[in-house]
Amino acid sequence: MKQAYLETESVRVNPFASEGSVLFSGSILPRKRFTLNNLQCNLGKSSFTLSGAYDLVGKDAFNFNVSSKKLRLEDLGIRYKKVDFTAGGDLNGKISVTASRKNPAQTKVVGYMKGKNLSFATEAFPYPIKDCYFHLKFAGNDVLIDTLALKLGKSPFQLTGEFKGWEGMRGDITVHSELLDLNDLIPPEMAEKFKEGDFESVSFTKGKSDQMKPGWKKGAHHFVETSDVHFDITAPKVKWEEASFGPLEVECALRSKDLYLSQSSVRFKRGRLLMKGHVKRGEKPEMLFTSYLEMEKQPLEDLPSPLAFVKDRIEGSLTMESLLYAKGNTKKELLSSLTGNANILLEKGVIRRSNIFIKVLDFMSLTGAFETRPADLPKDGLYFSRIGGHLDIDKGIAKVDNLAMESPVFNAVAEGETNLATGFMDAEIGIQPLTTADLLVSKIPIIGYLLRGDDNTLTAEYFKVDGKMSDPNVQYMAFKSMSNGTYSFFKRLFLSPQRLFQRISEAAGDFESKGLPLPDKSLPPEFDMGN
């Protein structure tokens, strides 16, 4: 018996590695019935009994009874090879099963099962499950989760609920975690891709379940495809790297391999996020999200480190309000479908990476822009006191007609649009240096055709920017080449700027007119920057 074991690519089960015995009796009525009267298995400190029968006529119906006062996972010799982890803990219970191979819906299960101090691994999560306790009750087609508590990484979970049916499960589950650490749910390799800003290779619609061996794949997929389980998830405190927020509330469902997010909300110290949508798998995978996000004076340096791709580019205090919708299966498809509106205000920060401003300021020789800043801010970038504006996004095209920037050395205004999927832009920028005319004349090679004030002093310059955002073409435009509309635009923004922000509640009306779902029925929001 020591040579009897079960092994797959990820797990090895060797119950007779040290000691064990199996005693059984039974009978076979040829072509009619196989009966197992009593099987007694002893494994170290564990034991269980098994009896049952199988119909050989129709090769369909079977029944069995299994019971154990103590079954230690250690005695089963379960070892997870990929993570080098050995399962542990105790099981006990008494279960009677009557089932049909041809019609799983006829399955009936009666009895109970308990577990304590359980620890085991699963490919669904990056860390093993530990300190697991549960009490399940079976009554025909029903399964009652009387108690289920476990620890995943540093996060404790408590679950209660009820399932119905055996040909795919249907039920309602309540999940609660007093302190939910998202690192316990997100695979480390995915977190690294977030930090690098690499979303193209992150797939939410192709799971490891699709890589099962064919023998198991058909049955498992049929079970999942016929399941419909609703989850109500709550967590008063949530952590993600160094960031803390909460409470978190999520209502979702796993239905036919697809995840449906009915509604969700998470609050943090300086704002909240509302979201709904779905992630569909199968032949036509698809992601759909609609979200509302608000922030008030959120320091970007306090964002979680997985969002380092944001923190590495810009620093400051962010006030923001957005209503966005996206649909697709790839990064390009999601960006091409992105629709919505956003009000953005950044204050007292530094732009670390901006090829546009680098080229503009190189042209103007305004090196002081990289030197005039408060002493407590880093010196590797362009300091600004304020950047604000309203974005109007329609099917991946982001348009802005009132973007304004203030810094100690110059003010800037811009209008234009960017294709978010391709990264190509077409914009016009006005720069108003905040220094004396004599100093500018000595520093700027080209001083003609500038937008002038009534006192004939240099007040602004005009640039045309197009091409790829990562390497834009920046062209100085002489004043005489400006159209009346462009001249009026810059004069209006510099001398009498319009309201920077628009009401997101108005955008909610646009969503409804386009047939796009809103993330929450409570819109218009409590905090509206457009007011």
- Domain segments of the chain as ranges: 6-167, 313-531
DSSP letter at 207 equals -
pLDDT (tens, 9 = 90+) of the chain, 531 residues, equals 566 668 788 888 888 777 788 898 999 999 899 999 989 999 889 999 999 999 999 888 999 999 999 999 999 888 888 888 899 999 999 999 999 888 888 889 999 999 999 999 887 788 899 999 999 999 999 999 999 999 999 999 999 999 888 777 889 999 999 999 988 887 777 666 655 555 555 554 444 444 434 443 444 455 567 788 999 999 999 998 878 898 999 999 988 888 899 999 999 888 999 999 999 887 788 999 999 999 999 998 888 776 767 777 888 999 999 999 999 988 899 999 999 999 999 999 888 766 676 667 666 655 444 445 455 545 567 788 889 988 999 999 999 988 888 887 778 888 899 999 999 999 988 887 765 443 443 444 333 333 344 444 445 678 888 999 888 888 887 654 455 555 555 555 554 445 555 666 667 777 777 777 878 765 544 444 444
> Which pair of structure tokens corresponds to residue 205?
């619609």
The pLDDT value recorded for residue 350 is 85
Q: Residue 278: which of 286, 269, 270 has the closest Cα? A: 286
Q: Is 508 exposed, middle or buried (0-12, 13-18, 19+ CB in 10 A)?
A: buried
DSSP letter at 353 equals -
Question: Distances from the Cα of 252 to the Cαs of 173, 249, 476, in angstroms?
Answer: 10, 10, 53
238: β partners: 180, 245
What backbone torsions phi and psi does residue 291 show, to the nearest 5 degrees? Answer: -145, 155
252: β partners: 231, 261
Q: Residue 66: which of 112, 99, 21, 116 has the closest Cα? A: 112
CA distance 436 to 461: 15
| H-only helix segments in 142-277 | 188-196, 214-225
CA distance 72 to 92: 9
Please name the amino acid found at residue 179: L
CA distance 516 to 33: 59
DSSP letter at 352 equals -
The alpha carbon torsion through 369, 313, 418, 322 (nearest 10 deg) reads -110
Inter-residue contact 268 to 523 (CB < 8 Å): no
> Which pair of structure tokens corresponds to residue 293?
């996000």
Inter-residue contact 166 to 109 (CB < 8 Å): yes
| H-only helix segments in 40-158 | 73-76
236: β partners: none
Block residue for tokens 């006829």 = 106
The pLDDT value recorded for residue 505 is 67
The pLDDT value recorded for residue 207 is 43
User: 3-class DSSP state for residue 329?
Assistant: coil
> Which pair of structure tokens corresponds to residue 329?
């299966």
CA distance 247 to 252: 16
User: 3-class DSSP state for residue 5?
Assistant: coil
Cβ neighbors of 213 (< 8 A, separation 6 or more) are none
The pLDDT value recorded for residue 58 is 87
Element holding 475 (H helix, E strand): strand 473-477
The pLDDT value recorded for residue 522 is 55
The pLDDT value recorded for residue 338 is 94
CA distance 23 to 514: 70
> Which pair of structure tokens corresponds to residue 529?
């920057």
Number of helical H runs and strand E runs in the chain: 9, 31
What backbone torsions phi and psi does residue 491 show, to the nearest 5 degrees? Answer: -60, -40
CA distance 35 to 27: 5
The pLDDT value recorded for residue 528 is 42
Total residues found in the chain within this entry: 531
User: 3-class DSSP state for residue 323?
Assistant: strand
Strand 179-181 vs strand 237-240: parallel, antiparallel, or unpaired?
parallel
| H-only helix segments in 204-349 | 214-225, 308-311, 331-337
Inter-residue contact 443 to 365 (CB < 8 Å): yes
DSSP letter at 525 equals P
